[in-house]
């Protein structure tokens, strides 16, 4: 079986899109200032007519790629962002020439240099920046960024960040679980299975991992149930007490992302016949909760309704 880091999108392969981006006045606050609160950010101010920039920018990209996501690079074309450059100059940022590289950490300027430095000097510059940021920051920052990307509907990039965090350290259940969920969002169930097979035994029962495992199981069940969704709805219309059809419909609804509707279907079974299938509806609902996460709004709402049914 291929290993995770052969099959998963590796940071060196995907870094140009995941860890190296083009900056503008519109995204400067988000991609530089706010992002630097999670990981160090280098900003490369360049211009198309600048000869030294043609040497410096590729060298910066190679150094950033080698860091596997521990540092972000934002490239800003000064001619396309004159107002931003003027604002930064008024704030005291040295912008007299290009190329100029500015390092940000925790929303503040941490260091800067101008001119086309040799690649060895760029490496030392980045290493010094990482020391300022602290040795414990990179892995956690990657996971935080990955979760945000996943929430924003960017699972491909999230997978790159989760994989990079695991290259920092293998004992991060949030990264393992997140990588599984990212692959599921992409539709790569086989990749998700391979990731779960490589989780260290010491964290295999962590809530982040078991939740991801439950999400994979539900995705597989849901894919099968989705094909029969129309028939399931017809069966329920003919017989509202067809609990098997309602159970399968809940699984299919969950697979489509309709969490509230999926929970409602299972709650209806519990309401009509608590003992059906050896309490199977309640058990499936608990599996949903595990897959969604205990702090998910759908989980909290359905859990309150379940408690009302069980204790009324």
Instruction: List active site positions.
Output: 50, 53
Whole-angstrom distance, CA of residue 78 vs CA of residue 45: 6
DSSP 19: T
Distances (CA, A) of 22 to 60, 150, 222, 242, 287: 14, 20, 39, 55, 42
DSSP 137: H
DSSP 30: I
Whole-angstrom distance, CA of residue 46 vs CA of residue 76: 6
Whole-angstrom distance, CA of residue 50 vs CA of residue 48: 6
Whole-angstrom distance, CA of residue 193 vs CA of residue 217: 10
Q: CB count, 10 Å around CB of 187?
A: 12
Q: CB count, 10 Å around CB of 107?
A: 13
Whole-angstrom distance, CA of residue 101 vs CA of residue 98: 9
The candidate with the shortest Cα–Cα distance to 6, out of 195, 177, 174, is 195
Q: Nearest 5°: CA angle at 177, between 168 and 137?
A: 35
DSSP string, 280-299: HHHHHHHHHHHHH-TTSHHH
Whole-angstrom distance, CA of residue 64 vs CA of residue 16: 9
Q: Nearest 5°: CA angle at 262, between 257 and 267?
A: 155
Residue 273 Ramachandran class (φ > 0 left, ψ -120 to 50 alpha, else beta): beta
């Amino acid at each position: 079986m291929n290993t995770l880091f052969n099959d998963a999108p590796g940071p060196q392969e995907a870094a140009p899109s995941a860890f190296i981006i083009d900056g503008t006045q519109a995204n400067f606050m988000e991609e530089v200032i706010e992002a630097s609160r999670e990981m160090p950010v280098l900003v490369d101010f360049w211009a198309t007519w600048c000869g030294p920039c043609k040497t410096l920018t590729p060298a910066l990209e190679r150094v950033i790629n080698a860091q596997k996501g521990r540092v972000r690079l934002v490239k800003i074309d000064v001619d396309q962002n004159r107002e931003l450059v003027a604002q930064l100059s008024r704030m005291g940022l040295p912008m007299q020439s290009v190329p100029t590289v500015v390092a940000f950490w925790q929303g503040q300027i941490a260091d800067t240099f101008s001119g086309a430095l040799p690649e060895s000097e760029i490496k030392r510059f980045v290493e010094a920046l990482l020391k300022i940021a602290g040795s414990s920051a990179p892995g956690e920052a990657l996971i935080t960024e990955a979760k945000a990307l996943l929430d924003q509907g960017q699972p491909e990039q999230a997978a790159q960040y989760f994989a990079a965090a695991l290259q920092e350290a293998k004992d991060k259940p949030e990264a393992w679980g997140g990588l599984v969920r990212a692959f599921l969002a992409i539709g790569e169930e086989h990749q998700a299975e391979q990731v779960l097979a490589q989780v260290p035994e010491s964290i295999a029962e962590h809530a982040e991992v078991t939740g991801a495992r439950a999400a994979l199981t539900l995705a597989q069940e849901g894919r099968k149930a989705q094909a029969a969704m129309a028939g399931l709805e017809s069966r329920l219309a003919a017989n509202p007490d067809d609990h098997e059809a309602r159970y399968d419909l809940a699984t299919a609804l969950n697979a489509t992302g309709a969490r509230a509707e999926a929970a409602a279907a299972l709650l209806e079974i519990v309401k009509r016949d608590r003992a059906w299938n050896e309490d199977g509806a309640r058990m499936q609902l608990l599996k949903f909760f595990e897959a969604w996460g205990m702090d998910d709004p759908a989980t909290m709402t359905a859990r309150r309704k379940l408690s009302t049914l069980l204790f009324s």
